[in-house]
Chain A
Amino acid sequence: MSAIADGDPLEPVNRVVYGFNEAADILVLRPAAEVYRGTVPTPVRMAVRNFLLNLTSPLLVANELLQGDFEGAQVAFSRFLVNTTIGLGGAFDIAGRYRDLHYEYEDFGQTLAVWGVPDGPYLVLPLLGPSNLRDATGLVADTAADPVNIWANNADRSGAMAVRAGVTGVDTRTELIEAVDDLRRNSLDPYASARSLYRQRRATEINDGSGGSIEFPDYEDIDEPAVENGAGSSNSN
């Protein structure tokens, strides 16, 4: 299991950035998330999250279309219509109450994956965390193509962009307080665990919810060499 076989040739640099992110998280981001959760009532936080998600609808529709998933685009568009009107500008996820109109996360990194672009080396981005070359490229494209961002740029409202980014960051971090605490407490190598989690999670997102096929071999005879070469690498694509 060399670094390159794991698709992490930049591991030494990544670990440095990871250490920086951990420090920034423990000092700033996690406390901010705790304050946010402790002071803002749950319904308000839900409304904020729904509103932020609704703002990403144009990107969802675009990425579904680029992936050739017309049903997915239809769902994302219907969600946008329903939630923007009845859902009062996106504050309420009315569409999510219907089985066929559930939210599905899409981004340009996933679109590139559907087009056959390999994930490239694993990257830990400053403040943003786990990624890879493909997904980081996708992130840049999504940010540049986002209609709300384009509007904010043209209207000289860079403050609005910063607020959106900040609130999105704190909201996302709030969702992960327990999970990250658990990882820090229980993993023997949180960096490696986070890398594994990111890769598996992305593989699931790219396949729209269906997990990868891991091989669970038979270990009937304990003395026989195990046939398991595919299991470790099959999830790391």
Chain B
Amino acid sequence: MITRRIFIAAAALLAFAGWATAPVPASADPRSESAARFVQDLGARAVDILITPDLQRQEVENRFRTLLNEGFDVPYIGRFVLGRNWNTATPEQRQEYLELFERLIVKVYADRFSEYSGQSLDSGETLKILGHRPEGERDAIVQSQIVRPDGPPVTVEWRVRQRDGQNKIIDVAVEGVSMSVTQRNEFASVIQRGGGSIDALLNALRQRTAAR
């Protein structure tokens, strides 16, 4: 390996023009292969929303909500994010929490989408699937790169769980940072600072998701 690196450094020193690198060989696991196709398709549909010009804000939210619920297991993620606080919540609190959680995601992403809307993006260029592998009993990790017009590409890993033959994303890790874990820590802190009460979180979510 080390000699190979020296060779490469030498080659780079001699001829530093572009040198095509071999693509990453994809594993032949059917489960993770289907997950990779699933993520690729979802990415293409997200780009579709982004490049459609002059979309009304409400329409962006509607389209994103459909995409979200088809692509992601939102109740699962919501429950994971609430962590152990789920166990002490009453059925009413759980129900309200899951509704607010979905509304929060839709709102946050609709904001982000409208920020980038109308850009000329090519779905094949924007989301590049680099590889995929089975993870645990029923999950698959799909590795991808999101290419930005300005700045280095971002590594994104999608954790896809198969249930009843259906693929659903249950976590997204950006540069090794899990979105679900980050949000779990965020919500736990809100609850802790609110004296350990889930109502503190529900209040904050109500305020954040209220129309403004």
Contacts and interface: CB of A to CB of B under 8 A. Distances in A.
B12 A101 contact: yes
A83 B13 CA distance: 9
Contacts of B183: 193
Contacts of A191: 189
B13 A85 contact: yes
B19 A97 contact: yes
Interface in B91-142: 108, 111-112, 136, 139
Contact of B187 (A99, A186, A188): A188
Contact of B12 (A95, A182, A187, A196): A95
B84 A203 contact: no
Contact of B111 (A185, A225, A229): A185
Contacts of A216: 80, 136, 139, 159, 161, 170-171
Interface in A198-216: 200-201, 203-205, 209-211, 214, 216
A interface bracket (residues with beta carbon within 8 Å of B): 35 or more
A104 interface: no
Interface stretch (A68-76, A109-117, A124-132, A155-163): A68-76
Given A74-B2, A226-B86, A232 B18 contact: no
Contacts of A74: 2, 5-6
A56 to B, nearest CB: 17
Interface in A10-50: 42
A82 B5 CA distance: 12
B190 A189 contact: yes
Contact of B182 (A70, A175, A197, A219): A197
A195 B185 contact: yes
B173 interface: yes
Given A81-B13, A216-B139, A219-B79, A189 B193 contact: yes
Contacts of A98: 8, 11-12, 19, 21
Given A200-B178, A204-B176, A226-B86, A97 B5 contact: no
B47 interface: no
Interface of B: 1-2, 4-6, 8-9, 11-13, 16, 18-19, 21, 76, 79-80, 83-84, 86-87, 108, 111-112, 136, 139, 150-151, 157, 159, 161, 170-171, 173, 175-178, 180-193, 201, 204-205, 208
Given A1-B189, A94-B16, A100-B8, 10 more contacts: A1-B191, A75-B5, A82-B12, A193-B182, A200-B178, A214-B171, A214-B180, A225-B87, A226-B79, A231-B83
Q: Which 10 A-B pairs have the closest CB atoms?
A: A204-B176, A192-B189, A78-B9, A196-B185, A200-B177, A99-B21, A211-B176, A196-B182, A189-B189, A1-B188
11 contacts: A98-B8, A98-B12, A189-B186, A192-B188, A193-B182, A193-B183, A200-B182, A226-B87, A231-B184, A232-B184, A235-B178
